[in-house]
Structure 1
Amino acid sequence: MPKGIVDVAVDLGTSRTAIGISIPGRSENEVTVCTPNGSGHCRSAQLKTETAALLEAKHPHGLLAFGKTARERFIKDAQRDEDGGGCTGRRTTSGAPNMLFRFFKTELCKNSGYTSVDQPVATAEGGETLPLMTVMTAVLRHIKEDVLAHLSQRLEVDPTVADVNWVVTIPAIYDDFAKRFMRVSAHRAGIISAVDDASQLQLCLEPEAACLAVSIKEAPLLAKAGIKLMIVDCGGGTVDITTHSVESRRPLKLKELATPTGGEWGSVCVDSMFMVWLRKLFGATAFARVRTTWAFYSLMDYWEEAKTAFQGKEDEDVSLNMVDVVMELGFDKGKLAELVAAHNHDLEPTHHLTRMNHYIDLPSGLVRTFFAPTIDKIGNCLRSLRGKPLLRDLKYVFLVGGFSCCPLVQQAARAELDRGGCRVIDVDRRELAIVRGATIFASNQLAFSRIAKLTYGVKSTCIYDSSNAEHVKRRSSPPIWDSAGKEVIDAFSTHIKRGAYVPSDGTCTRRCYGPLRPNQTTVSFQILACHHTDIEFPDTDSTFPLGEVTVNLDMRASFEDRGIAAEFVFCESEFLLRCFRGTTGERVAEVEMSLVQEVQEM
């Protein structure tokens, strides 16, 4: 359980970041939302800053700036280089440019089969690469130091990391490897003293954080047990969707109705389509020249406002002021006119650009093509969820996250879900719902009954059956016998099946295992996981080991009383294996294990 004197939530999003701070014991609504100091915003402002990190090229690649300031410094230094400022600017004394990293969190959504937390790679704006762990650790270390400095001014004592109940938000679609990665990076950043210390750091799924914020803000809607709700968290990099039923209101207990789903369908996908169009309009060479300039980022800032407000109406053109980009490229009005004419040449009239001096008007039909792939994926996912039997009486859908402010996202959600007694609810200040909920989560954990993603169990034995072909195939040579003289073979003893509910406290079925022979002094538990539901044998396809625990037997007890009971307790990216004396219930072992296959931390 949390033990600090202050709750701090770090909502490190793909494109935007905010920090929430709360003093336990105060009102749930007393959450201060701020951005890291020096990020380019007033730290007390109720908004987020960019998730952008400027790192030194030289080892150990220290963080030079974060947030909007990082981008501004990167562009300023690049311009100084271009103007002949030499190594005092973007380039270091080693001659290598400093590196700007944005959208680096998306690498953890790719499920690339990593076995080491040092394998994922982050790519900078200039094409340079670093281990993602280096970037993430630098960012978390900066946030940690900034938070502690802020708290020292706010509290009567200078706090340490141990005085803080830390929460870091993560997308619901993160797999166990990504969750483990975040814990290791927090450990290397000095936020926690041990990777698995849940008393210092909790990982909170972003839509579940939003769910807590919504449950407070919209309490009257969720007053009755049995109400089914959906959280659609539309952020910069991902869209995460969770579905729950209310089991009780006080305390709030929710039951997961379907495995969290979603995808890389955030607002940056729309930006990527827009940039593909820009590259085609100006040409690859010109686009590369302007890509890291003030002019380009100014244009993207303007596009961000237009994108958020765009409703998709037939006559809703988007006007872009291209004067800075044109001047940066050295183009005159005639060149811009040529580019517009070339663009329109092979396109249908509904996609034709119009130009007035340095302004270009993009017709609604063209702008909708930037949104279409992303909006279609969101709509298809919502439609598939709506068709699930458990969700046919869905009552409320809450849209949260910055991208949910986009009218086209709202239209897609309503088109798929706002029917048959289901209402899509506009959440107040939806862009801050996650950070506010995560801050409250630090000392007020929700009770979630989750769905197991895999089947988990231990390697055990069963009585050999010579009439069973599967047994014959797995017969040991030489045979193995138990104390009663019966031949046994290896078996898979299931503790929880894939798709079954994990209780809200994470504790699953306890099973007792005895020794095979009277002279046996220990019993070993090999922990296994499998993608299949019904498993009999440990060599079943897609079964893999998670670890092994050996427990000493009480040789003073009778042979029949030497059994050891084992139970699994599921946490975030790890679980506990607890072992008890079968007759007395005395706990004799508790071991933490990663849920990730063969993950190496170094």
Structure 2
Amino acid sequence: MNGKKHPDTIHSPNKRARRGYQSDASFRPAIACVGIDFGTSRTGFAYAFMDRQDEIFCREPGGQEPGKTLTNLLLTRDEEFIAFGSRAREEYYEGDPSALFFENFKMLLNEVDGGSYPVVSALNGREASLRTVLAHSLKYVKDEAMATLNRCSAVEIKADQVKWVVTVPAIWSDCAKAMMRKAALDAALIKEETSQLLQLALEPEAACMVCERENVCLRAGDQFMVVDCGGGTIDITMSCVHSCNPLSLDELAAPSGGPWGSTYVDREFEKFILELLGEQAFNCSKESVVWIEVLRTWEAVKNSFDPKGLAKVAFSNLNGGVQGGMSMGTGEGASGRSGGRVINLAPLLVLNNLQLEPLVQAFNQKHPDKPLQIRMMTAVMLPNELIMSFFAPVLRNITRHISRLISSHRIDYIFVVGGFAESKVLQENLKFNFEACDRRIVVPTRPSLAVVRGAVMFQLSQGERFRSRIARFTYGCDILEPFDPFDRRHRDRKLHFKTEEGKMVPYVRIFNPLVLKGTRMSPSFEVTQAQFESVEDSQDMCDFDILASVEEEVQNIEDAKTIGSVGVKLKAGQEAALSLSFGKTEIQATAMNLTTGEKSRAVIDWGFDSV
């Protein structure tokens, strides 16, 4: 698909100089591939050597086991690195309370829209730039990966001899993906922002590389959904199998999902503690290192909780009549209170000088349907019904969203991956609601490692597995067009003037569409528009503002949001062309000076602060 040319178009004035594309400074053949699953709750990496691509190994940063560590970071008051992962939590608990402890900071990336980096609050209330936190975290994981590679290699391996893959949620904005690339540059994964040694892979797309090997005989025409259940988000992609050998897929719909990950279950637990202790004691507890110990205890309860026996009643009540699948046996205790899990509250009680018995009595009076029981004077047993209530908001959102998707697409398989997919509560909820005679729920072996293993496979796979993807937005650029009083797009618009042959000629700023929402795009999809000119004779650069809108047809430029900008050298009297490539996980831009023939791939500048 080619964009329509506008021979009379005059492009908007240059705002900022842009850097042209530069290839990797010293290209050397890659020796290894490393995939990094940088999650909201947990982080891990996997690797493979180019001469042994069938052998993919997963590692926990800071350990030797095939797992993931906590996405926790500990810095000094001066923002110097102390520790990452589980070690960061332990050192903060045992060390200096004035140190900066960060967790769940990845979720802030989905809130960025360019202009500046957001700040992230440490547990003690102090703030740091998200850019600093990301750079320290990624650098630690990179250093751990390089140390692991070099322990396994007879020759020294440098970072520029590694193909890096960093996974990102499919529902992230293009701006958030760009920030992750900048963080990889800060962490020295790559030497140049445009380096081809780094690829961003959508998490559910990476996971589907693993799912195809999970004893599922996919056939041409099969349609499947990948539900990537992480700590922060639930990411969903839907694909149709075009061919099996090699595997070739068509995207059925644009990726979707929402903020329904496991950390939102944690928030419900925190609301419970807030209600039990009171606001003052709760706030005091959260700013103390003892809060880490309570969270550790809750994490063990959450991960081990099995709703078996509660499923039929609990999930039916939870989803309020959302379509069901196979019925499950009620089992013992399905309609009654069948035990619970114990949480030790001693650290919080001592910190706030509280007695547990009156707190429990007050809570039970308000919630007679899910009463707490005191154990050993300082611990409470949470009834199963209360624990299920912590999961309820997240499960309800996930179920409703998948139901909407399935109502408009035939789905033969639902692959459930990600750290949250280890939860039996989530697994049983999905099976109860969506498993049927013509639809199978598949949870791969070690679902928490599916994304990071798939990231390596994604990079190593020969060719592009996805034949086509669907545009999530309408993309375009802003242009100045000669004012036409009969064009409804020009009415009530601010006028810009340019002197032409001694006359002041009016122009208006409008949205110029390049790709419409819902467009099916191949991996090589590229759209080009030409014959752009500079506005001012004094210009030596032409700046293109790239915009996006959730609307398929953008009537007013105010309905679109600026998501980035690119620039190309252009003198008065010269013409330029702009090409945008959308077929992969990142938008790439190429600018050409049509007069001189000079061509460069431009760096998309999202306007982030340089510090």
TM-score tier, shorter chain, comes to 0.7 to 0.9
CA separation of 1:331/1:498 partners in 2, compared to 1, >3 Å: closer, same or farther? Answer: same
Residue 131 (structure 1) shift: 0.8
Residue of structure 2 equivalent to 1:576: 589
TM-score normalized by the length of structure 2: 0.79
Q: Indicate yes or no: 2:402 matched with 1:405.
A: no
CA separation of 1:395/1:283 partners in 2, compared to 1, >3 Å: closer, same or farther? Answer: same
> Are 2:554 and 2:560, in contact at CA under 8 Å, matched by a contact in 1?
no
For residues 373-522 of structure 1, the aligned pairs below 5 Å read 373-388=393-408, 391=409, 393-419=410-436, 421-444=438-461, 446-448=464-466, 449-458=468-477, 468=487, 470=489, 493-505=512-524, 507-513=525-531
CA separation of 1:246/1:563 partners in 2, compared to 1, >3 Å: closer, same or farther? Answer: farther
Residue of structure 1 equivalent to 2:170: 172
* More displaced stretch, 361-370 vs 181-190: 361-370
Residue of structure 1 equivalent to 2:207: 210
CA separation of 1:318/1:296 partners in 2, compared to 1, >3 Å: closer, same or farther? Answer: farther
- Give the distance between the partners of 1:378 and 1:213, measured in 2 at CA: 22
SS of 2:155's equivalent in the other structure is: coil
CA separation of 1:464/1:25 partners in 2, compared to 1, >3 Å: closer, same or farther? Answer: same
Q: Indicate yes or no: 2:347 matched with 1:325.
A: yes
> Are 1:351 and 1:366, in contact at CA under 8 Å, matched by a contact in 2?
yes
Residue of structure 1 equivalent to 2:601: 591
Residue of structure 1 equivalent to 2:217: 221
> Are 2:265 and 2:394, in contact at CA under 8 Å, matched by a contact in 1?
yes
- Give the distance between the partners of 2:496 and 2:298, measured in 1 at CA: 70
Q: Indicate yes or no: 2:563 matched with 1:567.
A: no
CA separation of 1:145/1:501 partners in 2, compared to 1, >3 Å: closer, same or farther? Answer: same
* More displaced stretch, 317-326 vs 233-242: 317-326
Residue 320 (structure 1) shift: 0.7
CA separation of 1:253/1:100 partners in 2, compared to 1, >3 Å: closer, same or farther? Answer: same
CA separation of 1:425/1:588 partners in 2, compared to 1, >3 Å: closer, same or farther? Answer: same
- Give the distance between the partners of 1:290 and 1:128, measured in 2 at CA: 16
Q: Indicate yes or no: 2:51 matched with 1:25.
A: yes
Residue 234 (structure 1) shift: 0.8
Residue 160 (structure 1) shift: 1.4
Residue 194 (structure 1) shift: 1.2
Q: Which residue, out of 72, 78, 82, partners 1:52?
A: 72
> Are 1:466 and 1:472, in contact at CA under 8 Å, matched by a contact in 2?
yes
Q: Which amino acid aligns with 1:269?
A: Y
Q: Which residue, out of 5, 10, 13, partners 2:39?
A: 13
Residue 446 (structure 1) shift: 4.1
Q: Which residue, out of 21, 36, 44, partners 2:61?
A: 36
SS of 1:217's equivalent in the other structure is: coil
- Give the distance between the partners of 1:319 and 1:580, measured in 2 at CA: 67
Q: Which amino acid aligns with 1:379?
A: T
Residue of structure 2 equivalent to 1:369: 389
Residue 293 (structure 1) shift: 6.7
Residue of structure 1 equivalent to 2:250: 255
> Are 1:515 and 1:523, in contact at CA under 8 Å, matched by a contact in 2?
no
Q: Which residue, out of 138, 146, 149, partners 1:140?
A: 138
Residue 149 (structure 1) shift: 2.2
Q: Which amino acid aligns with 1:592?
A: A
Structure 1 alignment gaps of length 5 or more = 38-42, 78-89, 92-96, 556-561
* More displaced stretch, 283-292 vs 61-70: 283-292
Residue deviations 1:292-314 (CA, integer Å, cap 9, x gap): 77765444333323323334424
Q: Which amino acid aligns with 1:502?
A: M
Residue 20 (structure 1) shift: 0.6
Residue 279 (structure 1) shift: 3.0
Residue deviations 1:334-374 (CA, integer Å, cap 9, x gap): x33332222212322x2112234345322222222211111
SS of 1:169's equivalent in the other structure is: strand
For residues 302-313 of structure 1, the aligned pairs below 5 Å read 302-312=297-307, 313=310
> Are 1:7 and 1:23, in contact at CA under 8 Å, matched by a contact in 2?
yes
> Are 1:495 and 1:567, in contact at CA under 8 Å, matched by a contact in 2?
no
- Give the distance between the partners of 2:83 and 2:540, measured in 1 at CA: 55
- Equivalenced residue count is 548
SS of 2:125's equivalent in the other structure is: coil
Residue 528 (structure 1) shift: 3.9
- Give the distance between the partners of 1:287 and 1:461, measured in 2 at CA: 56
- Give the distance between the partners of 1:542 and 1:75, measured in 2 at CA: 47
> Are 1:252 and 1:446, in contact at CA under 8 Å, matched by a contact in 2?
no
TM-score normalized by the length of structure 1: 0.80
Q: Indicate yes or no: 2:107 matched with 1:106.
A: yes
- Give the distance between the partners of 1:535 and 1:183, measured in 2 at CA: 29
Q: Indicate yes or no: 2:185 matched with 1:187.
A: yes
- Give the distance between the partners of 2:472 and 2:80, measured in 1 at CA: 38
Structure 2 alignment gaps of length 5 or more = 1-23, 311-333
> Are 1:53 and 1:100, in contact at CA under 8 Å, matched by a contact in 2?
yes
Residue 280 (structure 1) shift: 2.4
Residue 512 (structure 1) shift: 4.7
Q: Which amino acid aligns with 1:115?
A: G
Q: Which amino acid aligns with 1:213?
A: V
Q: Which amino acid aligns with 2:66?
A: Q
Residue 182 (structure 1) shift: 1.1
Residue 572 (structure 1) shift: 4.1
Residue deviations 1:467-521 (CA, integer Å, cap 9, x gap): 5455676797879989xxx99987755332122122223x3234453889xx9x9
* More displaced stretch, 240-249 vs 44-53: 240-249
- Give the distance between the partners of 1:252 and 1:579, measured in 2 at CA: 36
CA separation of 1:589/1:301 partners in 2, compared to 1, >3 Å: closer, same or farther? Answer: same
CA separation of 1:470/1:274 partners in 2, compared to 1, >3 Å: closer, same or farther? Answer: closer
- Give the distance between the partners of 1:536 and 1:276, measured in 2 at CA: 44
- Give the distance between the partners of 2:357 and 2:179, measured in 1 at CA: 50
Q: Indicate yes or no: 2:68 matched with 1:71.
A: no
Q: Which amino acid aligns with 2:120?
A: A
Q: Which residue, out of 560, 565, 581, partners 1:546?
A: 565
Residue of structure 2 equivalent to 1:80: none
> Are 2:170 and 2:255, in contact at CA under 8 Å, matched by a contact in 1?
yes
SS of 1:594's equivalent in the other structure is: coil
Residue deviations 1:393-441 (CA, integer Å, cap 9, x gap): 1111100012112222123323443247222112111111011001222
Q: Which amino acid aligns with 1:234?
A: C
Residue 162 (structure 1) shift: 0.3
Residue 233 (structure 1) shift: 0.8
CA separation of 1:420/1:462 partners in 2, compared to 1, >3 Å: closer, same or farther? Answer: farther
SS of 1:577's equivalent in the other structure is: strand
SS of 1:221's equivalent in the other structure is: coil
SS of 2:206's equivalent in the other structure is: helix
- Give the distance between the partners of 2:91 and 2:178, measured in 1 at CA: 32
Residue 142 (structure 1) shift: 1.7
SS of 1:351's equivalent in the other structure is: coil
CA separation of 1:461/1:14 partners in 2, compared to 1, >3 Å: closer, same or farther? Answer: closer
Q: Indicate yes or no: 2:123 matched with 1:125.
A: yes
* More displaced stretch, 5-14 vs 273-282: 273-282
Residue of structure 2 equivalent to 1:316: 338
Question: RCO greater where, 1 or 2, for CA within 8 Å and sep 6 or more?
Answer: 2
SS of 1:387's equivalent in the other structure is: helix
Root mean square deviation of aligned Cα: 3.7
Residue 126 (structure 1) shift: 1.4
* More displaced stretch, 490-499 vs 62-71: 490-499
Q: Which amino acid aligns with 2:124?
A: G
* More displaced stretch, 164-173 vs 491-500: 491-500
CA separation of 1:566/1:45 partners in 2, compared to 1, >3 Å: closer, same or farther? Answer: same
Q: Which amino acid aligns with 1:21?
A: Y
> Are 2:580 and 2:587, in contact at CA under 8 Å, matched by a contact in 1?
no
SS of 1:156's equivalent in the other structure is: coil
Q: Indicate yes or no: 2:400 matched with 1:357.
A: no
